[in-house]
Amino acid sequence: MRAGPSQEEVRRHNLGTLLRYVHVHGATSRAELTSRLGLNRSTIGALTADLTTAGLVTEAAPRETGRAGRPSLVVRPESSRVFAYALSIEVDRLRAARVGLGGRILDRREAHRPRGMQVLDAVQPLAGFVREMRADVPDDARYVGTGVAVAGMVRRVDGMVRLAPTIGWVEEPVGAALRTELGDEARGRLTMGNHADVSALVEHSRGAAAGCDNVIYLYGDVGVGAGIIADGRRVAGHGGYGGEVGHMVVNPYGRECSCGSRGCWETEIGEYALLKHAGRAEQSGRGAVLDVVEAAMRGDSQAQFAVRQVGEWIGFGVGNLVNIFNPEAVIFGGTLRDVYLVAAAQIRSRLTAIALPACREHIRLRTPELGNDAALIGAAELAFEHLLEDPLIN
Amino acid sequence: MRAGPSQEEVRRHNLGTLLRYVHVHGATSRAELTSRLGLNRSTIGALTADLTTAGLVTEAAPRETGRAGRPSLVVRPESSRVFAYALSIEVDRLRAARVGLGGRILDRREAHRPRGMQVLDAVQPLAGFVREMRADVPDDARYVGTGVAVAGMVRRVDGMVRLAPTIGWVEEPVGAALRTELGDEARGRLTMGNHADVSALVEHSRGAAAGCDNVIYLYGDVGVGAGIIADGRRVAGHGGYGGEVGHMVVNPYGRECSCGSRGCWETEIGEYALLKHAGRAEQSGRGAVLDVVEAAMRGDSQAQFAVRQVGEWIGFGVGNLVNIFNPEAVIFGGTLRDVYLVAAAQIRSRLTAIALPACREHIRLRTPELGNDAALIGAAELAFEHLLEDPLIN
C-alpha cells in the first residue's frame, strides 16, 4: 500500500509512458500521443523534447499527411542508436542479437547447440557473438543492457538456472558464467528470464495477442512451457517460476517425466510423444516434428494418428488452463505451432468439451506473429525495461 | 498505457490509500500512517481531516502510550456508522450481514437453503433479512452499497449467474431479481462476485495470507472453487470467470462431472467423493463430511481410507496449481479445511512429488483465519471498493 507519487515521479512516469508507447507502437504523431496518453499538447511537447535531448527519440515532419493545416510532428524511437544485446539459450541452438529500441533486430548470430552441452561451452560462443556484433556498433550508439532468455527456470536476481530439464541443467550459475565471459561492454546490466515468459510478453505487447489482457502463450519443443498474462501482467509467482504448465499432470497413469513425476502434460504433447506415436522415436528436433506434420498433411496414416493423439492432449491441457485463467487468447509457439496447424479442429473440440462455456467464450486460438524472433526481442525487453521505467536513468 | 495522474487524482488516491489502510489494519496512529504510507506528517494530517469531515474515520488520543512526549493521534475507521450489506448464496444456506467499514460484522442472519431452491425463493428471504437489519440501523449511519457472494460463476456487470452447478442454477438473472426484491435502501450499488474469489481477497488482505502476494485459496463443498491472487491481484480472467480449478481435469478416466466433462478435480475431492469412499454415498452436507473426518481421527478404517483417497487427489491438484502459479500460500477452506486437518502430511507428500522444487519452495499450507465470515466480509468488500477507490464519492 503506497501513497501517491511526487511531481518528479509523475514526470518520470510520463516520460516512461511516452517512450514505452513509441517503443511498442513505432513512429507516432504528437497528436496521437496527446490523445492516447491523455496529456495535453504542451506536456507532450515538453516530454518529447526531454527524450530527444536524451537521444532516445527523434522528431520529424511526416512525409505526407493528405490533410490541410500544419502536420503534427512524428516521434520515432532511436532504434539505430539505442540498443540492447539479446541472448537466447534453447534446446538445440544458441542465438544472439543486437536489438534497437522499438524492438528492431539490427544484427544477429546463431549456432547449433548439441544436446548435453555444458554451461561454459554454451556461454563462450554467446560471448563471442557479442564481441563480433560489437565491432559494427556505431560510435555514438548507446548500450542499454543485455537480456538473456533461457528455456528453463531462472532466478531473476542472479541468473541462476534452477532447472532446465530439456537443456539438462540443474542449479547452474549461468548468469555468473555470462558475466565472466562477456566483455566489459556487455557485462553490466545483465537480466535473465524464461524463454516462454519473455516471448509471451512480446506477443502480448506487439504480436498475436496485442490488445488482449489475458493470454496464455504456450511454447513446445522437447518440453512445454508457458508465459501467462493475467490482466495485462505476467503471472510470475513468488520466485518468478510460475507458468510451468508442462508439469501439470494430465495423465496420472502416464509416462515418467524428466522432472521425476509421471504423466506431466509435456510427456503427452512434447516432441518425444509426437515422434513416438509416429513410429519415429529414434528421431528428435524441430525438423523431425515438421516431417511428421507434413506426412500427416500428405495423408500418412501413422503420422495422422500421432498428430491426433497429441492434438487430443493439447486440447485437454488447454481446456484445464482455460478453466483456470479464462483467457482471451491462447498462442501456440514452437513445435506446438506446427501441430496446431494440422490439429486445430481437434484441439478446439477437446478444449470445448473440457472448458466451461463462460471460461471459453470469446477465446481465440492463434499462432505467434513474431515467430522465433519473440525470444530475442523479449530478451531485449528485459534490458529495455530499466530504461522504460526511468528514461533519464544512466 | 496511461499517463501520470493530476494533483487532484493524487489527493484522491492518497485519501483512498489512507482509508484502505485503516479499513484493513484497524486503528492506526498518525505516526505509523506517516511511515507506512511514505507521506509527510502534514499531508497525513490534512488527509485524516478530510476523511473525518466526510464521516469515514475518527481521531482520538490513544489510551496509553507508555512513552514520553505528546502521543500520536489514532485514526479509526467509522465501523458503526459506515456500512455495507453483505449477502451470501451458498449450497446449503443463505446468509446476510451488515458489515461496518473495517470489516466488522455488525449484524447477521442465516437460513437453511434446501438443495434445488429456485432463484426467487432464495432472493426473497435475503431481501427480508436486509429489511430486518435495516430496522436497527442508526439514523446517522451511511449505507455504502450491497455486495453479494454466490457459489458460482457471476457476470460482474449485471449479476447474471452464468453457472452454479452445485446450486443448480444456469444463466439465472440473480442480480436483477435482487434489485427487484431489495427495498430502495439497498437496491442501488449492488455488486456481485464469486464466493471463493471474495473469500480469497479477504484472507489475502486481513487473514491467513496477509502479507503474501501469491495465494491460492481453495474452497470445497459439493464442488471446488478457487480465488487466486497473483502479485497481489486477483486472477480474474477476461470475463471474471477465472479460478475454476474444480473443473481442471485430473483423472481422464474418472467419473462424470456435473459440468458435463469427466474426471474434474471436484469429482475426486468434493463432498460426494469423500462420502462415497467412506461408504456413506447417501449422505450429504458439511455435517456428513465432518462425521467422516471425526471417524477417521477415531480410527475408523473406512473413513481413513476415504480421507487418504481424497487427500491424495487434493495434493495432486494442488501440485499442478503450484507448478502453474508458484504461490507462497495455499489456503484450504470449506470442507477442504476439515480434510486438510487430517490429511495434511499426505497432501504435502503428494504435492512434493508433483510440484517442481523451485515452484514449491517457501510454500505454506494453511487453513483460513476468517472461516465462514470470509465470504460475508468479502461480499461487503465488493461494496466498500467503490468508497476506497474514491472516498469523497457520494
User: CATH assignment of B7-77?
Assistant: 1.10.10.10
Confidence tier at B304 by pLDDT (50, 70, 90): very high
- Does 3.30.420.40 match the CATH number of domain B83-198+373-389? yes
What's residue A4's pLDDT?
66
Taking 3-state DSSP, the helix, strand and coil percentages for chain A, each rounded to the nearest 5, stand at 45, 25, 35
Q: What is the pLDDT of residue B64?
A: 66
Condensed to tens digits (0 to 9), the pLDDT of residues B183-238 reads 776 667 899 999 999 999 999 999 999 999 999 999 999 899 999 999 999 999 99
Selection from B194, B51, B57, B80 nearest residue B138 by Cα: B80
- With CB atoms and an 8 Å threshold, state whether B245 touches A324: yes
Predicted confidence band of residue B23 (pLDDT cuts 50, 70, 90): very high
* Mean pLDDT score, B339-362: 96
Q: Determine the pLDDT at residue A67.
A: 65
**What pairing do the DSSP bridges indicate for beta strands A160-164 and A169-172?**
antiparallel
Query: Using a CB-CB distance cutoff of 8 angstroms, which residues of chain A are in contact with residue B245?
Result: 323-324
Q: Which residue of B has its CA nearest to A257?
A: B354
Nearest-CA distance B38 → chain A (Å):
6
B228/A324 CB distance under 8 A: yes
Confidence of residue A64 (pLDDT cuts 50, 70, 90): low
Residue A393 reports pLDDT greater than 90:
no
**What is the predicted pLDDT for the residue at A377?**
98
pLDDT in tens, A268-327: 999 999 999 999 999 998 899 999 999 999 999 999 999 999 999 999 999 999 999 999
Q: Residue B392 half-sphere exposure, CB side, CA atoms within 13 Å?
A: 13
pLDDT at A243 over 70: yes
The pLDDT assigned to B311 comes to 97
B212-366: same fold as B7-77? no
A1 pLDDT above the threshold of 70: no
CB contact under 8 A, A237 and B316: no
What confidence tens digit (pLDDT) does each residue in B101-137 have? Answer: 999 999 999 999 998 899 989 999 999 999 999 999 9
Quick check: B236 and A326 CB within 8 A?
yes
By the 10 Å C-beta count (0-12 exposed, 13-18 middle, 19+ buried), A149 is classed as buried
* Interchain proximity A4–B21, CB inside 8 Å: no
Per domain, the residue ranges of chain A are 7-77, 83-198+373-389, 210-366
Q: Beta strand A215-220 with A82-89: parallel, antiparallel or unpaired? A: unpaired
According to CATH, the topology of domain A210-366 is: Nucleotidyltransferase; domain 5 (3.30.420)
Mean pLDDT value of segment A154-174: 92
Per-residue pLDDT at A56: 97
Nearest CB to B162; choose among A43, A228, A358: A358
In CATH terms, B212-366 corresponds, of 3.30.420.40, 3.40.50.450, 3.40.50.300, 2.60.120.560, to 3.30.420.40
Give the residue on B whose Cα is nearest the Cα of A226.
B324
Mean pLDDT of A40-61: 94
CB A338 within 8 A of CB A218: no
Residues of A in contact with B21 (CB under 8 A): 1
Three-state secondary structure readout of A65-121: CCCCCCCCCEEEECCCCEEEEEEEECCCEEEEEEEECCCEEEEEEEEECCCCCCHHH
- CA separation for the pair A315, A328 (Å, rounded): 16
pLDDT at B245: 98
- Cβ pairs A/B, distance under 8 A: 211
Q: What's residue A71's pLDDT?
A: 78
Mean pLDDT score, A183-208: 89
The lowest-confidence range among A317-321, A389-393, B22-26 is A389-393
**CA–CA separation, B152 vs B159, rounded Å?**
11
Distance CA A214, CA A233 (A): 8
Burial group, residue A66, by CB count within 10 angstroms (0-12, 13-18, 19+): exposed
Distance CA B355, CA A361 (A): 30
Q: Looking at the complex, report in whole angstroms how far the Cα of residue A390 sits from the nearest Cα belonging to chain B.
A: 13
Helix, strand, or coil (residue A124): helix
What's the pLDDT score for residue B3?
62
- Percent of chain B topping pLDDT 70: 96
CA B214 to each of CA A239, A319, B378: distance values in angstroms, whole numbers, following the listed order: 10, 23, 18
Looking at per-residue pLDDT, the higher value among B353 and B7 belongs to: B353
Q: What is the pLDDT of residue A263?
A: 96
Q: How far apart are CA A128 and CA A123, in angstroms?
A: 9
Reported pTM: 0.94
Q: Chain B: nearest CA to A27, how far in angstroms?
A: 16
Which pLDDT band holds residue A72 (cuts at 50, 70, 90)? confident
Q: What percent of chain A has pLDDT over 90?
A: 85
Task: Give the pLDDT of residue A2.
Answer: 57
- How many Cβ atoms are within 10 Å of A81's Cβ, its own excluded? 16
State the best of A324, A330, A360, A390 to mutate against chain B, taking most chain B CBs within 10 Å: A324
Nearest to B248 by CA among A349, A311, A246, A324: A324
Instruction: Provide the pLDDT for residue B63.
Output: 74
Reported ipTM: the value is 0.93
As a whole number, the mean pLDDT across chain A is 93
pLDDT, position A394: 63
Distance CA A273, CA A269 (A): 6
Average pLDDT over residues A60-68: 73
B68 has pLDDT over 70: no
Residues of chain A contacting B250 with CB distance shorter than 8 Å:
249, 252
